[in-house]
Homo-oligomer: A and B are copies of this chain.
Amino acid sequence: MEKAIKIVTIGGGSSYTPELMEGFIKRYDELPISEIWLVDIEDGKEKLEIVGKLAQRMWDATPYNVKVFTTLNRKEALRGADFVTTQFRVGLLDARIKDERIPALHGMLGQETNGAGGMFKAFRTIPVIKDIVEDMEELCPDAWLINFTNPSGIITEAVIKHFGWKKCIGLCNVPVVSMMSEPKIVGKDLSQLNYRFAGLNHFHWHKVFDEDGKEITDKLIEHINEKEGGTPVNIFQAEFSLELLHSVNLLPCGYHRYYYSEKEMLEHSIEDFKKGGTRAEQMKEVEAALFEVYRNPDLNKKPEELQKRGGAYYSDAACECISAIYNNKRIHMVVSTENNGAIPCLDSDSIVEVSSLISANGAEPIAWGEMGSFEKGQLQVMKAMEECTISAALSGDYGMALQAFTINPLVQKGSEAIGVLNELLVAHEKYLPQFKEKIRELKAQGIASKDPVVVDLMKNGH
């Protein structure tokens, strides 16, 4: 690749964009970008303008001649792209508010990427990513798609397995967070350790070895409940049972707390909700404040405030992944990619989140091998849930959506769960064309959330 690199970021109006710019700036010498196109939709136009200007100011403060374009015309942006990153959020934070409030009001977990909310995020996103892939086939058939729209693993499975776009890699910051914090616990630098991850996005385990090949997983387990234990800041730190983890001898990811401390996490989330509303509502305020900061015409670097936003390292991981492909770096990263047998208890064409070698070939997983019954059973049921979710998202089949809800370990099964499903369908009508018929039917039955916040959002066209 001798030609100038063209990057396209879909959902470019996101508050994360400055981190992405920082990541590219810091790698300019190895990754000589010429153009960055930030794409967004009409609803996000104002934010796109603000963040686009900040992005350009950031580049202008460097010696590099990089032009930042903002556009609502996705096709214009995609033509001839080399790398496309996706960080869009269908329905914006308002949709997430519904994802979190409606389950919570029924006494269930209201969370962005897990449980009922996570499945609905997939229902909304999959039709959109399908359109994007179709555009890419036409306009940039050789481009890499670096996805960090959540639920990242599910979206990547839809893109690779269902839409046939093989040059796609899914990213997540959760493994990065572990790799940034744990080495300090054992007084090492990350470069001295060999990390091996395997599982699914937001549901993986890892083990760690020192430079002599000695496994140190058990030492890190001892510290997992500490602040530095590697859990992202947005997840409540209910205590893991160390006896359980030592028995498994693997380090779970932060999201495992929802599964291994289900009761405490649920209680905390309900309590939190009663006190301060959902995390989405908090985030909306954080975002508003951030954009106030971004507007400042003197600001020409990533502001401190962004770091606190959660999701740290996400954008940096994307930049590193792009550079590793471009420069054939052959480095270890943890990404969502085609299994290819690396986790033998899952299908070869399933998408898994796993330690991979990143090179000009893209991501190639390092074979993990057989799992114990405990990890195996959990992975298999989670993958089945993902498959049901994708199937429902593609077909708009209500029965399949019910299957996804029934198999999801974080949904308490029964008529209340069906109530949550129905209310969410109606609440997200605008973004669920595939479920149109069923939603019409549910509305005819009078089904709708009575929650004033939801009612209000819908009145305002969300």
CB distance from A106 to the nearest CB of B (A): 10
- Taken residue by residue from 375 to 402, chain A's Cβ proximity to chain B (1 for < 8 Å, 0 otherwise) reads as 0111011111101100100000111101
Q: A247 to B377, Cβ gap below 8 A? A: no
Interface check A133, CB cutoff 8 A: no
Question: Which residues from chain B contact A413 at a C-beta distance below 8 Å?
Answer: 259-263
Name which residue of chain B comes closest to A339, CB basis: B367
Copies in the complex: 4
Interface check A47, CB cutoff 8 A: no
Question: Which residues from chain B contact A400 at a C-beta distance below 8 Å?
Answer: 247
CB distance from A362 to the nearest CB of B (A): 7
Q: B366 to A365, Cβ gap below 8 A? A: yes
Q: B407 to A377, Cβ gap below 8 A? A: yes
Q: B367 to A342, Cβ gap below 8 A? A: yes
Within 8 A of B (CB), among A177-221: 192, 194, 196, 209-213
- Taken residue by residue from 353 to 366, chain A's Cβ proximity to chain B (1 for < 8 Å, 0 otherwise) reads as 00001011110111
Interface check A248, CB cutoff 8 A: yes
Interface stretch of the complex, out of A26-34, A147-155, A414-422: A414-422
Could you tell me the distance between the alpha carbons of A373 and B389 in the complex, rounded to whole angstroms? 10
Q: A361 to B263, Cβ gap below 8 A? A: no
Interface check A124, CB cutoff 8 A: no
Q: B341 to A209, Cβ gap below 8 A? A: no
Q: A360 to B194, Cβ gap below 8 A? A: yes
Question: Which residues from chain B contact A239 at a C-beta distance below 8 Å?
Answer: 415
Q: B376 to A415, Cβ gap below 8 A? A: no
Give chain A's interface residues, CB within 8 Å of chain B. Answer: 1, 192, 194, 196, 209-213, 238-239, 241, 243-244, 246-248, 259-265, 325, 328, 330, 332, 338-344, 348-349, 357, 359-362, 364-370, 373-374, 376-378, 380-385, 387-388, 391, 397-400, 402-403, 406-407, 409, 412-418
When A and B form their complex, which 7 residue pairs have the shortest distance between CB atoms, in order from nearest? A377-B384, A247-B399, A340-B369, A263-B414, A341-B344, A213-B360, A341-B341
